Structure 1
Amino acid sequence: MFSGSAQPGAALPKRLRVFYGGTFDPVHNGHLAIARAVREALGTTVWLMPAADPPHREAPGAKAEDRAAMLDLAIEGQAGLRVDRRELERSARSDAPSYTVDTLRELRAKFGEDAPIAFVIGADSLHGFAGWREPEALLAGAHWVVAERPGSALDEHLPPPVARLVAGRWTLDAHALRTTPGGKVLRLRQPLHPESATQIRRRIAAGETWHHLLPPAVARCIVERGLYGATPIVLPPAPPR
């Protein structure tokens, strides 16, 4: 949590709503490490938001209901982490592609234009941000928390279109995200995790060791539902409830 009093004339902090979107295909320990780091850095609840079939990449390997179910299992018992299904629900109502800018507008309609809202993305996603729909509106309409990922550190040279988009928006002050509705980009400094969903899906399909990269309940779900070509393996017993 944050401490200290506001300076005279400074904007008073408001409730910050944070959304961590992604396909979570499957959710793994690296995803959860980022969510917990954001929760601690910003002192607020982090809503993990599974995406419908994203328009800028190939379709997920697991169905939406399976990915959401794995998220529910992954965050069970973890304070300050929740699942938000609004993108899946919107996709179920329409066959149109699901865009983050549509989610932002939905959030603004619900919480108001003055509410501080932040999205969490990995550095690899930031590198491709110029290709998202209405990137200028996304950057102006919400804050962005960028988590470093192996191979995509923020010290690397950003593509020129992205560098132009984020110029003048960087901040090191997490508290600043509470005093304005959007427009800032915060670098999240946290331990890097080597696992990725792509590598985990490859390991499962190849019959390699993989279950240590995910929460036990998620690994069990993958085996029970036969996701990603999983075959039965010996898993640790489920923890007592």
Structure 2
Amino acid sequence: MRAWVGYGGTFDPIHCGHIAVAGAVRDALDVTVHLLPAADPPHKDSTHADASQRLRMVELAVAGERGLRADARELSRSAPSYSIDTLAEVRAEVGPACPTAWVIGADSLAQLHRWHRWHALFELAHVIAVGRPGFGLDVDGLARVDTELADTIRRRLQPLDRLLAAPCGGLAVLPMSPPRPESSTEIRRRIAAHESWMSMVPPPVAAYIVRHRLYARPDPA
């Protein structure tokens, strides 16, 4: 295995932006990218389609896409599923020498210091931060969010193409120009409001949403 690369999220629903991000990472590193839908969180209103539906939409979205794969491992846990737990499981599977990376959005990078055991992530994997509209990837901007986060990023920042030279510990950015505009929240809003939305998701996902009448109610305020 050249490397193991994971891209987690609620994928509620998965959309064309998610696929574009996963494809950009795949192409930049010549790897397979695993898309991992998160388990249902403890609070029922936090997701709108259930875990099995979100997994099925991911499977439909990646079907026929080279180097993209649905990974259901987070859905088998009864306890809250943290990225650190997923990466520990992956590391046990691939061994200590296999380069491993976790893909996040720029919005998540700005909140990384709030993640469960966030420092330990780098002991298990690299982090790849991908551009999102309205969120910068520059370290100076992140210093205004949290100085410890910015210092950690400065120490670990390296070019994307160098990540696979080590098993873990680095951080690289992938700007995406322009950043993908799709948003699961906006898609759900449009569906509930009977506005145009189908072009924002892969066609098989759109058909699944229509067939199962997902997201017909507005999100709770």
TM-score relative to the length of structure 1:
0.83
Determine whether 1:157 maps to 2:141.
yes
Residue by residue over 1:55-93, the C-alpha shift from the partner in whole angstroms, topping out at 9 and shown as x without a partner, is: 79962111010001011111111111111110012x2xx
Tell me if structure 2 keeps the 8 A contact 1:55–1:99.
no
Residue by residue over 1:163-219, the C-alpha shift from the partner in whole angstroms, topping out at 9 and shown as x without a partner, is: 133231111141x22221111111113231111111111111111111111111101
Tell me if structure 2 keeps the 8 A contact 1:17–1:117.
yes
Determine whether 1:179 maps to 2:179.
no
TM-score relative to the length of structure 2:
0.90
Residue by residue over 1:142-173, the C-alpha shift from the partner in whole angstroms, topping out at 9 and shown as x without a partner, is: 10111000011213711224213323111114
CA distance change for structure 1 residues 99 and 173 in 2, over 3 Å: closer, same or farther? closer
Show structure 2 runs of 5+ residues with no match. none
1:187-226 alignment runs, 5 A limit:
187-191=173-177, 192-226=179-213
Alignment correspondent of 1:30:
17
Show structure 1 runs of 5+ residues with no match. 1-13, 231-241
Which one of 48, 51, 59 corresponds to residue 61 of structure 1?
A: 48
Alignment correspondent of 1:122:
105
Q: For the residues of structure 1 that align with 2:74 and 2:81, how far apart are their CA atoms?
A: 7
Q: For the residues of structure 2 that align with 1:145 and 1:56, how far apart are their CA atoms?
A: 28
Tell me if structure 1 keeps the 8 A contact 2:153–2:171.
yes
State the one-letter code of the partner of 1:157.
Answer: G
Which one of 87, 90, 93 corresponds to residue 110 of structure 1?
A: 93
Percent identity of paired positions between Structure 1 and Structure 2: 48
Determine whether 1:73 maps to 2:56.
no
Tell me if structure 2 keeps the 8 A contact 1:55–1:98.
no
Aligned positions, number:
212
Alignment correspondent of 1:148:
131
How far did 1:43 drift? 0.5
Residue by residue over 1:98-119, the C-alpha shift from the partner in whole angstroms, topping out at 9 and shown as x without a partner, is: 1111111111111112221001
Alignment correspondent of 2:30:
43
